[in-house]
Amino acid sequence: MSIEQLESIAQAMVAPGKGIIAIDESNTTIKKRFDGVGIECTEDTRRAYREMLLTTPNLSDHIAGAILYDETLRQSTRAGVPFTKVMLDNGILPGIKVDKGPHPLAGFPGELVTEGLDGLRERLQEYARLGAKFAKWRAVITIGDDMPSSTCIEANCHALARYAALCQESGIVPMVEPEVLMDGSHDLEVCYDVTEVTLRSLFASLYEQNVMLEGTILKASMVVSGKDCPEQASVDEVAEATIRCLKASVPASLPGIVFLSGGQSDEAATAHLNAMNQMGPHPWPLSFSYGRAMQSAALKLWSKDMDKHFGDAQKTVAQRARENGLAALGQWKKSA
Ligand code: 13P
């Protein structure tokens, strides 16, 4: 695949007013979400839940792509139509989570490094055959006493760059996600510093590994106050700090940046994105790739009665997509 083809997929992922829905929870993570609302976690409940999300009417009005987990990429609707076909027929790009999760970084207690490079070339080739157009790899950076170490940042960024180069070799757009966690009592400035140093390291690694930025999407965490910080930054402060940080560390040739929600409330995730776009224009489109902030209302409703609330749960997905799509244009209003 040529760089032009990768570039056009990357641009489609951040088309104006559109974003990504992340439904790539591993079986362990989705079990935690299901446990929270009292649903048994089986292959079929996972399939039924993802069918509800992916068959939301008019989802593609504001959703350009969906990130799936390995199991979901191979599943079908109850009527037997593969999810990838449902998506491609509706103009939604199939994406796939390919990392094997964060594991303890030896020698650095409390820090994590994401694994999954072994055998990745073959896995990506299979995913491309199954219809995946883009892939995601999430690195986790934890803020704490003497953390993150430069070793943790460099190890994670090196892995992200190796993964991104392998994706492009297979004709798949890499979505590189270095998530700086919100956990902790640090303030906004600390989050700013950690995010900037992480992004600078990431783009240095991508350059070293010959990754073509024109065919890459960044999935970033916003610059926010730690969850337990007594002084929480306002929406405008978060938006201003995030934009400043991105401009200081992300090359303008990148086709787009999408954000994770990371445990923010639905409304905060939308308000922050909207405020950033109202401060534009910026060098890149800024959109969303939310998991929890797209799904939490739908999951709660669906869990009460999977059949009876199927349509209502889909309405909340459509509503969250619409609100976040407006925020991607800086046109969201609180009561929208
Ligand atoms: P959240 O929006 O729930 O943080 O999930 C996004 C994601 O894909 C994290 O990797």
Distance CA 164, CA 126 (A): 16
Element (H, E) at 136: strand 134-141
Testing ligand 1's pocket by substitution, the residue of 68, 140, 261, 267 carrying the most ligand atoms inside 8 A of its CB is 261
Q: Which ligand 1 atom lies nearest to the CA of residue 261?
A: 2
C-alpha span between 27 and 43 (Å, rounded): 9
Sign of the CA dihedral running 286, 291, 296, 300: positive
Q: How far apart are CA 210 and CA 166, in angstroms?
A: 10
Write down the pLDDT at residue 2.
85
Please give the structure tokens belonging to residue 69.
């987990």
**Residue 177 appears among annotated catalytic residues:** yes
Residue 335 pLDDT:
75
Is 219 in the active site? Answer: yes
Cβ(324)–Cβ(270) below 8 Å: yes
CATH of domain 3-327: 3.20.20.70
Is 138:179 a contact under the CB 8 Å cutoff? yes
For residue range 155-190, what is the model confidence (pLDDT) as tens digits? 999 999 999 999 999 999 999 999 999 999 999 999
Structure token pair of residue 18: 């559109």
Q: Tell me what pLDDT residue 258 has.
A: 99
Cα–ligand 1 centroid distance for 269 (angstroms): 11
Domain residue extents for the chain: 3-327
Catalytic residue (one of 51, 111, 177, 196): 177
Per-residue pLDDT of the chain (336 residues; tens, 9 = 90+): 689 999 999 999 999 999 999 999 999 999 999 999 999 999 999 999 999 999 999 999 999 999 999 999 999 999 999 999 999 999 999 999 999 999 999 999 999 999 999 999 999 999 999 999 999 999 999 999 999 999 999 999 999 999 999 999 999 999 999 999 999 999 999 999 999 999 999 999 999 999 999 999 999 999 999 999 999 999 999 999 999 999 999 999 999 999 999 999 999 999 999 999 999 999 999 999 999 999 999 999 999 999 999 999 999 999 999 999 999 999 999 875
Alpha-carbon span 212 to 73, nearest angstrom: 26
Structure tokens at 252: 């303008």
Question: Dihedral sign, CA of 46, 47, 52, 54?
Answer: positive
- For residue 111 and ligand 1, the question of a CB distance below 6 A is answered with no
Q: Whose CA is nearest to atom 9 of ligand 1?
A: 260
Q: Which residue has the tokens 């987990």?
A: 69
Give the pLDDT confidence score for residue 238 in this predicted structure: 98
Q: pTM (2 decimals)? A: 0.97
Closest ligand 1 atom to the C-alpha of 292? 3
